[in-house]
Amino acid sequence: VNRLALVVALVLSGCGGSSNSLCSGVQSPCVSFGPAATEAAIQTGFAAAQSGTTLVFAAGTFKFTNELTVTTTGITIQGAGMDKTILDFSTQTAGSEGILSMSSGFTIRDITVENTKGNGIKVVGATNVSYQRTHVLWTDPDNTTHGPYAVYPVQCTNVLVEDSVIEGASDAGIYVGQSEQIVVRRNESKNNVAGIEIENSHFADVYSNNAHDNTGGILVFALPGLQIHDNHDVRVHDNMIVNNNTDNFAAVGDIVGIVPRGTGTFVMAAANVEVFGNTYQDNKTVNFAIINYGDSGSSWTDSQYYPFPTKIYVHDNMFMGGGDAPDASMMQPSIGGLLAISLPMFPGNRVGDLVWDGIVDSNRMGMSAGNPMDICIGSNGSATFQNLHFDNIDQNKGFVGADSNVTPYQCTLPSVAPVSFPGLMM
Amino acid sequence: MRFLPLLLLVGCGGSGEKIPYQNLSEYHLLTPSGGAVSYADGVVPYDLNTPLFSDYALKSRAVKLPMGMAAAYDPDNVFQFPVGTIVMKTFSFAPDERDPTTSARLYETRLLIRQKDMSWLGLPYVWNDAQTEAVLTPAGGMPTIDFISPGGDSEEAHYLIPTEGQCKECHDATGTFDVLGPRARELNRDFDYGGGTVENQLTHWANAGILTGAPDPSAAPVLPVFDDPSTGSVTDRARAWLEGNCAHCHNPTGLARTTGLFLKVSETEPSQYGICKTPVAAGPGTGGFTYDIVPGDPDHSILVFRIESTMPGIMMPQIGRSVVHKEGVQLIRDWISSLVGGCP
């Protein structure tokens, strides 16, 4: 059987292309998998694919027991459309991802990947990575069984995630980590713990996404102890960040496990972040928060890590509702729990739309004319502002030092440049 | 119709005229017999101090260098093998591994062949039921194997014959495919070459002319044998086990470099090898715990949870294992229990 599969795959991968209909119009070399292709044939095709090959799947459902691993440059995985071609990993018994690529020039498009046992589609250490019109989801009603990351490029350069639908990840739906030159646009990310996460990355443009019904919508932050120590130059604009009130279902111990349900966006330990043109609606803990890593209650030993947010510019966003029912379910002390008990002290019994933890790096004291961390709040319609003064907490009453005086932070910062890289269509 | 594939095969030049051969026998490296292999002249078998665990598979390793050629010794890294070197590893199981020579069955032989551009070609060959031939199988496979472990436990392995791509998860995470085992610290041990010859492998390789620049074994590094207390303390053997089983990915250039957890013995910063280190991307792999290693508390250490798991997506290593290495886990538990201090 194996020998037969090999022969079939050799015929398919051929000595210069295929003439079957699935490959028609596809640049050679092309390898195709018809609706009855077995896992062995598909695995053989992946193993034999030469550089630059497009691997085309017919419409249909393809079941896997093992992950698909890409180790050749320039591979494109192409289906017949989201929910038309389904790579089904519900019977997977080996491999930590559904698809793993370690090679540059990786593209996946027009396909659905579902019920991977671990992560969905992970790409490590590659340049030029595209996820286009890709649907990644988990369907088990017990969402704690879902894999952590759906779209998972890490240590990559020139990353594009667009027009995709991501749902159900038990950590982050779209997770871009330790990468640079990143565009995440026009995706729908829902029912994950984190909808979109930009972590320890540089030069990211996150726009026109719809992040809804997650625990947290769009998160921008840096963690200590990694090979890339910081997160900077991020634009988050023209997104819908709505109703992210799903109970946190991440495993305890995961950093997103401490995100309170009802979080629109938080920016933590990041620099040069511009947030504009977004709609924040009905995120019940807080629509938008700027915090330092210390708020997480964790300690760190990474001497190259800077835990504070600096140069954060938030302007021209629209806010509707939210902040009215902070998540107090998390273990104490938690930001959600503190916000919940603070509500009676807050104007209108709700958390401000734009919240800063108010913690100033002592080394920056006195800089920037009373705004040493360069937190700039521009015009945001009727949005309310709150400085939580996180250094003044009463365990019974919450943020007793909080104030709503936005005046020191009414300023502008230079715009963060849009991201572009070769091959990116605007 | 019958002829079409054959014609195409000939047209591709992949019909067994050159490497990679479709059949293992075409290399004339080894001969199967009774669930084991014997090696041709010029093929040198070897063993490692603390090898990677693979579902209790019995492993036979050997290397063949081109005639008259030698590898260059390196105290820290894999030896520099010349073009044309073939490193081979054969995996078999016996129904009762307390008696490994009775009724053993060969499952696969993996070849690594050094190419002209110094890269290595990784080739999985799967043995037939008749145990007469192994055939190149880039798609890998996953046979179910029932056996009794060396410790006397009944086990059912969903043994993974990796796809060619999966070979590279361990061997080629950064674009440079390399062998993993043949390093001075792993090879620095005695081996029974038969006929009454028991000799240190470094010495044997040097005398055979296939290794240059090797010092006397007493001056070469040596990795403890994880299950031999005479070779090191619990700590030393635990770190050796972690190196042999995890460090091919968990090192600053390996596939798990993005996690910040580095498990070579040479890593001396406790937070980098897991002490009170919080996970980065573990997902359900945390098991609900906060730190990779909590000194004194293996039951709350993520590392223990993951090496005790057999769930894909949670278990570590990520591939190459479907049953728990009980002896290895016990050693790691003993080590963590011996540590003091706890975490914040």
* ipTM metric: 0.90
**Is A20 within 8 Å of chain B by CB?**
no
Window B:274-293, CB contacts with A under 8 Å: 277-291
**Is B311 within 8 Å of chain A by CB?**
yes
Q: What is the pLDDT of residues A31-73, one digit of tens each?
A: 999 999 999 999 999 999 999 999 999 999 999 999 999 999 9
**Is A51 within 8 Å of chain B by CB?**
no
| CA angle at B90 for the pair B86 and B93, rounded to the nearest 5° | 175
Give how far Cα B286 sits from Cα of B249, B305, B314, Å: 18, 8, 8
What is the 3-class SS of B288-332, one letter each residue? CCCECECCCCHHHEHHHHHHHCCCCCCCCCCCCCCCCCHHHHHHH
* Residues counted in chain B: 344
**Is A3 within 8 Å of chain B by CB?**
yes
Contact B260 A170 (CB under 8 A): no
**Is A147 within 8 Å of chain B by CB?**
yes
Alpha carbon distance B316, A78 (integer Å): 31
Q: Report yes or no: A63 and A38 within 8 Å, Cβ to Cβ.
A: no
Please provide residue B154's backbone torsions phi and psi, each rounded to the nearest 5 degrees.
Answer: -75, 130
Window A:247-276, CB contacts with B under 8 Å: 250-255, 257
Q: Report yes or no: B223 and B49 within 8 Å, Cβ to Cβ.
A: yes
How many Cα atoms are found within 13 Å in the side-chain-facing hemisphere of A262? 23
Spatial CA neighbour of B63 closest among B279, B274, B208? B208
- Provide the token pair at B75: 């105290």
Residue A225 has its nearest CB partner, among B174, B260, B289, at: B260
pTM for the whole thing?
0.93
Residue B174 has what pLDDT? 67
Alpha carbon distance A268, B189 (integer Å): 51
Residue A333 has what pLDDT? 62
Please provide residue B208's backbone torsions phi and psi, each rounded to the nearest 5 degrees.
Answer: -80, -5
Alpha carbon distance A365, B229 (integer Å): 56
Number of neighbouring beta carbons within 10 Å of residue A65: 17
Contact A69 B138 (CB under 8 A): no
Residue A1 has what pLDDT? 39
Q: What is the pLDDT of residues B230-286, one digit of tens each?
A: 999 999 999 999 999 999 999 999 999 999 999 999 999 999 999 999 998 888 999
Q: Report yes or no: A46 and A70 within 8 Å, Cβ to Cβ.
A: yes
Q: What is the pLDDT of residues B98-151, one digit of tens each?
A: 999 999 999 999 999 999 998 898 999 999 999 999 999 999 999 999 999 999
Residue B17 has what pLDDT? 57
In terms of DSSP H, where are the helices of A160-269?
A: none
Q: Does the pLDDT at position A357 exceed 80? A: yes
- Provide the token pair at A359: 């913690």
DSSP A296: G
Residue B12 has what pLDDT? 38
Q: What is the pLDDT of residues A96-113, one digit of tens each?
A: 999 999 999 999 999 999
Q: Does the pLDDT at position A9 exceed 50? A: no
**Is A340 within 8 Å of chain B by CB?**
no
Window B:251-270, CB contacts with A under 8 Å: 252, 255, 257-258, 260
Interface residue of B159, B280, B297, B322 to substitute, partner A, most A CBs within 10 Å:
B280
Q: Does the pLDDT at position B1 exceed 50? A: no
| Helices first, then strands: H and E counts in chain A | 3, 31
Distance from CA of A299 to the nearest CA of B (A): 8
| Helices first, then strands: H and E counts in chain B | 7, 14
Please provide residue A278's backbone torsions phi and psi, each rounded to the nearest 5 degrees.
Answer: -90, 160
Three-state secondary structure call for residue A126? coil
Contact A177 B281 (CB under 8 A): yes
Number of neighbouring beta carbons within 10 Å of residue A135: 23
Report the share of chain A in percent with pLDDT over 90: 87
Task: Provide the pLDDT confidence category of residue B177 given band limits of 50, 70 and 90.
Answer: confident
Residue B172 has what pLDDT? 78
Mean pLDDT of B31-59: 97
Distance from CA of B165 to the nearest CA of A (A): 5
Residue B258 has its nearest CB partner, among A155, A250, A253, at: A155
Residue B283 has its nearest CB partner, among A41, A147, A223, at: A147
List CB contacts (< 8 A) between A252 and chain B: 286, 288-290
Number of neighbouring beta carbons within 10 Å of residue A261: 23
Alpha carbon distance A214, A210 (integer Å): 11
Name beta bridge partners: A235. A205, A274
Residue A420 has what pLDDT? 96
**Is A298 within 8 Å of chain B by CB?**
yes
Spatial CA neighbour of B73 closest among B205, B170, B176? B205
Alpha carbon distance B79, B206 (integer Å): 13
Residue A95 has its nearest CB partner, among B8, B260, B312, at: B312
Interface residue of A4, A6, A256, A299 to substitute, partner B, most B CBs within 10 Å:
A6
Three-state secondary structure call for residue A162? strand
Window A:183-242, CB contacts with B under 8 Å: 223, 225-227
Alpha carbon distance A30, B328 (integer Å): 45
Give how far Cα B67 sits from Cα of B19, B37, B82, B209, Å: 17, 22, 11, 10
Q: Which residues contact A364 (CB under 8 A, 6 or more apart)?
A: A310, A372, A373
Report the share of chain A in percent with pLDDT over 70: 95
Contact A254 B286 (CB under 8 A): yes
Q: What is the pLDDT of residues A194-238, one digit of tens each?
A: 999 999 999 999 999 999 999 999 999 999 999 999 999 999 999
Task: Provide the pLDDT confidence category of residue B287 given band limits of 50, 70 and 90.
Answer: very high
Three-state secondary structure call for residue B257? helix
Residues B74-91: b if buried by 16+ CB within 10 A, e if exposed: eeeebbebeeebbbbbbb
Among the listed ranges A87-96, B77-86, B167-176, B227-236, which one has the minimum average pLDDT value?
B167-176
Q: Does the pLDDT at position A125 exceed 50? A: yes
**Residue, of B54 and A5, whose pLDDT is higher:** B54
Window B:184-243, CB contacts with A under 8 Å: none
Window A:90-129, CB contacts with B under 8 Å: 92-96, 100, 102, 116-119, 124-125
Contact B158 A93 (CB under 8 A): yes
The nearest alpha carbon in chain A to B166 belongs to: A69
Alpha carbon distance B167, B136 (integer Å): 14
Three-state secondary structure call for residue B191? strand
Q: Does the pLDDT at position B173 exceed 90? A: no
List CB contacts (< 8 A) between A75 and chain B: none
Alpha carbon distance B282, B309 (integer Å): 13
- Mean pLDDT over each residue of chain B, to the nearest integer: 92
Among the listed ranges A7-21, A381-395, B249-263, which one has the minimum average pLDDT value?
A7-21
Interface residue of B144, B169, B176, B311 to substitute, partner A, most A CBs within 10 Å:
B169
Q: Cα-Cα-Cα-Cα dihedral of A57, A59, A62, A68, to 10°?
A: 30
Report the share of chain B in percent with pLDDT over 90: 86
Residue A94 has its nearest CB partner, among B260, B284, B319, at: B319
Among the listed ranges A3-12, A253-262, A296-305, B92-101, which one has the minimum average pLDDT value?
A3-12
Spatial CA neighbour of A154 closest among A186, A184, A185, A121? A121
Alpha carbon distance A165, A82 (integer Å): 9
Contact A46 B165 (CB under 8 A): yes
Q: What is the pLDDT of residues B192-227, one digit of tens each?
A: 999 999 999 999 999 999 999 999 999 999 999 999
Q: Report yes or no: A322 and A284 within 8 Å, Cβ to Cβ.
A: yes
Residue A369 has what pLDDT? 79
Q: Report yes or no: B26 and B16 within 8 Å, Cβ to Cβ.
A: yes
Interface residue of A51, A67, A176 to substitute, partner B, most B CBs within 10 Å:
A67
List CB contacts (< 8 A) between B310 and chain A: none
Q: Which residues contact B141 (CB under 8 A, 6 or more apart)?
A: A2, A40, B126, B161
- Mean pLDDT over each residue of chain A, to the nearest integer: 93
**Helix A2-13 vs helix B3-12: angle between axes, to the nearest 10 degrees?**
60
Contact B168 A301 (CB under 8 A): no
| Helix (H), strand (E) at residue B236 | helix B234-246
Q: Does the pLDDT at position A280 exceed 70? A: yes
User: E-assigned strands of A118-270?
Assistant: 119-124, 127-137, 149-154, 157-162, 165-167, 172-177, 180-185, 188-190, 194-199, 202-207, 210-212, 216-221, 232-237, 240-242, 263-268
Task: Provide the pLDDT confidence category of residue B178 given band limits of 50, 70 and 90.
Answer: confident
Residue A2 has what pLDDT? 45
List CB contacts (< 8 A) between B272 and chain A: 225
Please provide residue A110's backbone torsions phi and psi, each rounded to the nearest 5 degrees.
Answer: 55, 55
Residue B41 burial by CB count (10 A; 0-12/13-18/19+): exposed, middle or buried? exposed
Distance from CA of A53 to the nearest CA of B (A): 15
Please provide residue B219's backbone torsions phi and psi, each rounded to the nearest 5 degrees.
Answer: -100, 0
Contact A6 B282 (CB under 8 A): no
Residue A329 has what pLDDT? 84
Q: What is the pLDDT of residues A241-251, one digit of tens each?
A: 999 999 999 99
Q: Which residues contact B56 (CB under 8 A, 6 or more apart)?
A: B93, B97, B147, B149, B150, B155, B157, B323, B325
Alpha carbon distance A30, B212 (integer Å): 46
Interface residue of B123, B129, B268, B278 to substitute, partner A, most A CBs within 10 Å:
B278
Contact B139 A40 (CB under 8 A): yes
Three-state secondary structure call for residue B69? coil
Contact B139 A6 (CB under 8 A): yes
List CB contacts (< 8 A) between A253 and chain B: 278-279, 282, 286-291, 302
